[in-house]
Amino acid sequence: MSLKDQITDDMKNAMRAKQADRLGTIRLLLAAIKQKEVDDRISLDDAGVISIIDKLIKQRKDAVDAYMKAQRTDLADKESAEIQVLNAYLPQRLSNEEIIAAVQAIVASLGAKGPGDMGKVMGAVKTQLAGKADMALVSQAVKSALSS
């Protein structure tokens, strides 16, 4: 079963169970997937769906930060609940140690030296670790690997 099919099934189950908050988040996710498919005239695979989920989670995290600064804990709690629903569809993430090891291996294989090669390294890292790791952590690992 593809990830998109699983999300659709979960939407149906949330409707039956009358889980309004979960249903709203899943519908939001399906709308984002459909929008991407229509805009690019493609059918997304699991990797494409995961990238959309990552994007939505990042948006929610930014919103939580903004709401906390504005002392709106009610809205921050709602966004946090949406993050939890979206996280359920992500595969198991790599640990920091695994990310650092993978980045160092890629840097060594490319022979990259210095911050000027960051674009080249990030391109290779994104193809290998997309959907498996938080790209913010990957970026930090690349910066530290190229600076040493």
Per-residue pLDDT, averaged over 60-77, amounts to: 96
CA distance 111 to 99: 18
Which of 126, 141, 140 shows the shortest CA–CA distance to 50?
126
Cα 115 versus chain centre, distance: 25
- Judged by DSSP in three states, 77 sits in helix
**DSSP string of 131-144?**
TTS-HHHHHHHHHH
Provide the pLDDT confidence category of residue 146 given band limits of 50, 70 and 90. confident
Rounded CA Rg of the chain: 18
Are 129 and 94 within 8 A, CB to CB? Answer: yes
pLDDT tens digit sequence for 27-50: 999 999 999 999 999 999 988 899
**Nearest-5° Cα angle at 118, 112 to 122:** 100
Residue 135: what pLDDT? Answer: 83
Return the closest-CA partner of residue 67 out of 77, 57, 58.
77
Class at the top of the CATH hierarchy for domain 3-87: mainly alpha
pTM: 0.81
- Whole-number mean pLDDT of the chain? 92
pLDDT (tens digit, 9 = 90+) per residue, 126-144? 888 877 888 888 889 988 8
Q: Domain residue spans in the chain?
A: 3-87, 96-147
| Check whether domain 96-147 has CATH 2.130.10.10, yes or no | no
What is the rounded average pLDDT of the residues 6-27? 96
Output the six-digit token pair for 102: 């993978």
The fraction of the chain above a pLDDT of 70, given in percent, is 100
Can you say how many angstroms the Cα of residue 78 is from the centroid of all Cα atoms in its chain?
A: 19
